[in-house]
Amino acid sequence: MAKLNADELSVLDEFLDSLGVRWEPVAKQGLYEGAAVMKDALLREVESLPTTSRDKFVPAVGLPLSALRPKEKQGLIDGLGISKMRRDGDGISVSIAFDGYNELGKANSLVARSLNKGTSVQKPNRFIRRTFKANENKRVKAIIDKINSIKIQDK
């Protein structure tokens, strides 16, 4: 989740107040823009993940895999997407997730979670946290730039 300091929050609050009741469409456009930046960064990270030489690769006894199988990696690439925005008690939210199944029949979300946290047969590669931390400023900038670029109609 993004964290804004008090100065940024007050500027954003004043801006949204100036919009009156029309702040929600503006916020949605900004959130989607930020989500798109993070999705692109995560896609680049997934594309750079190491892979095994073949899909039927079996690691040596007692040694967990340090790479994905090629079809698992392709499944992550194909399944990466932005969820539909939803409104709840805390406001508006959007998620970036791995959807669907790869050609091996494994759920992409399970493959991503297993790689990110590690298992008894897969060494951890904290690619999701690394990507989100490295691109936090770009995401916030994209949201603010998008909100600032929207023409505001008179109330």
**Is residue 78 domain-resident?**
yes
**Is residue 84 domain-resident?**
yes
Q: Mention every residue, 6+ apart, whose C-beta is less than 8 A from residue 67.
A: 49, 50, 51, 52
| pLDDT tens digits for range 60-107 | 666 777 888 899 999 999 999 998 887 777 677 788 999 999 999 999
State the pLDDT at residue 144: 87
State the pLDDT at residue 74: 96
Phi first, then psi, for residue 93 (nearest 5°) are -140, 155
Q: DSSP assignment, residue 153?
A: P
Domain ranges, residue 27: 6-149
- If we measure between CA atoms, which residue out of 27, 12, 8, 44 comes closest to residue 146? 27
Domain count, the chain: 1
**Is residue 99 domain-resident?**
yes
State the pLDDT at residue 94: 84
- For strand 91-93 and strand 86-88, is the pairing parallel, antiparallel, or unpaired? antiparallel
**Is residue 19 domain-resident?**
yes
Report residue 3's pLDDT band, with 50, 70 and 90 as the boundaries: very low
Distance CA 11, CA 32 (A): 20
Report residue 13's pLDDT band, with 50, 70 and 90 as the boundaries: low
Distance CA 123, CA 62 (A): 12
**Is residue 25 domain-resident?**
yes
**Is residue 95 domain-resident?**
yes
Statement: residue 58 has pLDDT above 80: no
State the pLDDT at residue 121: 82
Distance CA 102, CA 46 (A): 14
pTM of the model: 0.76
Report residue 1's pLDDT band, with 50, 70 and 90 as the boundaries: very low
State the pLDDT at residue 134: 94
When the pLDDT of each residue in the chain is averaged and rounded to a whole number, the result is 82
Statement: residue 52 has pLDDT above 60: yes
